[in-house]
């Protein structure tokens, strides 16, 4: 080791890649003796609990997992960190009442791991990185026992005998399957083991949206109750939902004391899960003011725009716009995205997220109730 009395340093970085500090040192007589170089890794570190597509469908960031000791409901966590070796990353559950309840069935090393929960409770999963200066990535996870929610499903026919969708359509099964992929973030599984019900009603076939007139939906709810279907989630598939409010074209609507209505073109899991979310107590959130889409949420994600549990250690991409985060949320209310169901969507966070509300008289921005902490305690969405 040199006896250093003076240090001249140059920092050279490439991002990501190798960094170098080149320095000179003098001996005790003041003579420059040598030049040396200290090398180190410079990397970008992004950590998000994004789950890859499943069945070519949805991407989601699970804040919650459904408990299953057989591992049928795993989640994938990954780090994007060029220059860091897989072997230098070790994942573990590090705190919380559910500590020890998370397992890594395919190992706990590397940039991407699979985790599942075996005991209900809150845990923190930390990715320890050898040699990292700063706070390691961490994810807060709530492990749920699953609740099963019965659904009464109705297909509406018009007076010509045309159904909104064939009661035998595979799209109906797919809708439930995919809705449950989303809702298992909250430990919820919708089931319609009862047969698909059919009803002929031309007015309902082209039902009005919630804000225009609620008579149709009240009548639908009343009809289902008259058949003894109380305290279940009631879902009606109709031909169309007419647009009675400017700038809205609902894919689905939920009159929370009556029923959910979904129109034919949007019989997909994202819409069903979103509408069920309203019955769980969640509100719509928008990246743009719904009445004038020139208003966009400005700026980037930050700690004060979400719940501390969702922020984690904050290793978001530095260019992650808040508007992009809002568009990922299950409760994102812009129906324009619901037809494709191939984008990143369906994320249920822990807590509130900053965005536009559905206020229609002025563009209101605030934290919106779209997360696990704000849902009804029973986790059983239902209509009376
Ligand atoms: Zn909505």
Domain boundaries, the chain: 8-42, 46-144, 147-279, 303-374
pLDDT at 10: 44
Please return the burial class of 204, using the count of CB atoms within 10 Å of its CB with bins 0-12, 13-18 and 19+.
buried
Angle, to 10 degrees, between the axis of helix 170-183 and the axis of helix 269-279? 50
Distance 283 CA to ligand 1 centre (A): 7
pLDDT beyond 90 at 106: no
| Nearest by Cα to 176 from 252, 256, 268, 58 | 268
Distance 165 CA to ligand 1 centre (A): 22
pLDDT at 24: 72
Q: Where residue 267 falls among pLDDT bands split at 50, 70, 90?
A: very high
Higher pLDDT, 4 or 54: 54
Q: Where residue 7 falls among pLDDT bands split at 50, 70, 90?
A: very low
175: helix, strand or coil: helix
Ion ligand 1: residues, CB within 5 A, are: 284, 333
Higher pLDDT, 123 or 3: 123
pLDDT at 338: 59
- pLDDT (mean) for 334-359: 77
Instruction: Give the least confident one: 45-59, 271-285, 328-342, 345-359.
Output: 45-59
In 146-222, where do the E strands start and end? 147-157, 188-191, 197-200, 206-208
DSSP state of 274: H
pLDDT at 223: 97
Instruction: Give the least confident one: 44-48, 57-61, 68-72, 101-105.
Output: 68-72
- pLDDT (mean) for 34-55: 67
Higher pLDDT, 211 or 32: 32
pLDDT at 78: 76
Distance 346 CA to ligand 1 centre (A): 12
CATH 2.70.70.10 fits 46-144, yes or no: no
Supply the mean pLDDT for the chain.
Answer: 82
Distance 329 CA to ligand 1 centre (A): 11
Give me the torsion for CA of 13, 14, 18, 20, rounded to 10°.
-20
Q: Which residues of 95-124 are buried (b: 16+ CB within 10 A; e: fewer)?
A: ebebeebbbbeeebebbebbbbbbebbbbb
Distance 274 CA to ligand 1 centre (A): 6
Distance 67 CA to ligand 1 centre (A): 27
Instruction: Give the least confident one: 13-17, 173-177, 241-245, 270-274.
Output: 13-17
Chain centroid to CA 76: 13
HSE, side-chain direction, 13 A CA sphere, residue 19: 12
pLDDT beyond 60 at 117: yes
Ramachandran bin of 112, using left for φ above 0, alpha for ψ from -120 to 50, beta for the remaining angles: beta
Distance 181 CA to ligand 1 centre (A): 18
Cβ contact 250:209 at 8 Å: yes
pLDDT at 237: 96
Q: Where residue 2 falls among pLDDT bands split at 50, 70, 90?
A: very low
Q: Where residue 23 falls among pLDDT bands split at 50, 70, 90?
A: confident
Residue 146, C-beta contacts closer than 8 angstroms, at least 6 positions apart: 66, 67, 68, 184, 187, 188, 189
pLDDT at 56: 46
| Nearest by Cα to 154 from 57, 219, 78 | 219
Distance 270 CA to ligand 1 centre (A): 11
pLDDT at 342: 52
Distance 251 CA to ligand 1 centre (A): 9
Distance 155 CA to ligand 1 centre (A): 21
Distance 278 CA to ligand 1 centre (A): 7
pLDDT beyond 70 at 242: yes
Block residue for tokens 């984690």: 312
- pLDDT (mean) for 222-227: 96
Q: What are phi and psi of 24, to 5 degrees?
A: -105, 150
Distance 276 CA to ligand 1 centre (A): 9
| Rg, Å, the chain Cα set | 26
Domain boundaries 147-279, CATH class: alpha beta
């Amino acid at each position: 080791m040199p006896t250093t009395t003076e240090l001249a340093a140059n920092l050279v970085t490439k991002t990501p890649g190798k960094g170098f500090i080149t320095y000179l040192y003098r001996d005790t007589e003041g003579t420059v003796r040598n030049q040396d170089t200290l090398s180190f890794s410079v990397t970008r570190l992004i950590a998000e609990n994004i789950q890859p597509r499943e069945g070519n469908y949805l991407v989601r960031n699970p804040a919650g997992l459904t408990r299953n000791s057989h591992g049928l409901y795993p989640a994938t966590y990954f780090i994007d960190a060029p220059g860091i070796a897989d072997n230098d990353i070790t994942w573990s559950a590090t705190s919380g009442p559910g500590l020890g309840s998370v397992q890594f069935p395919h190992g706990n090393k590397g940039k991407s791991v699979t985790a599942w929960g075996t005991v209900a409770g809150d845990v923190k999963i930390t990715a320890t990185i050898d040699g990292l200066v700063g706070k390691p990535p961490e994810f807060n996870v709530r492990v749920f026992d699953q609740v099963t929610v019965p659904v009464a499903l109705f297909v509406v026919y018009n007076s010509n005998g045309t159904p909104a969708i064939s009661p035998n359509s595979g799209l109906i099964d797919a809708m439930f399957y995919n809705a449950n992929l989303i809702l298992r973030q909250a430990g919820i599984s919708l089931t319609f083991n009862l047969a698909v019900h059919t009803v002929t009603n031309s007015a309902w076939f082209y039902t009005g949206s919630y804000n225009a007139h609620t008579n149709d939906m009240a009548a639908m709810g009343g009809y289902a109750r008259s058949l003894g279907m109380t305290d279940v989630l009631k879902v009606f598939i109709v031909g169309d939902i007419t647009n009675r409010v400017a700038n809205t074209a609902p894919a689905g609507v939920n009159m929370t004391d009556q029923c959910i209505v979904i129109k034919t073109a949007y019989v997909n899991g994202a819409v069903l899960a979103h509408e069920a979310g309203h019955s769980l107590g969640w509100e719509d959130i928008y990246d743009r003011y719904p009445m004038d889409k020139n208003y966009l949420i400005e700026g980037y994600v930050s700690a004060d725009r979400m719940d501390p549990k969702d922020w984690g250690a904050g290793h978001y991409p530095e260019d992650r716009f808040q508007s992009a985060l809002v568009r990922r949320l299950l409760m994102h209310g812009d129906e324009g995205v619901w037809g494709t169901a191939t984008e990143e969507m369906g994320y249920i966070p822990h807590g509130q997220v900053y965005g536009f509300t559905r206020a229609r008289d002025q563009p209101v921005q605030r934290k919106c109730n779209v997360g696990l902490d704000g849902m009804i305690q029973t986790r059983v969405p239902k209509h009376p």
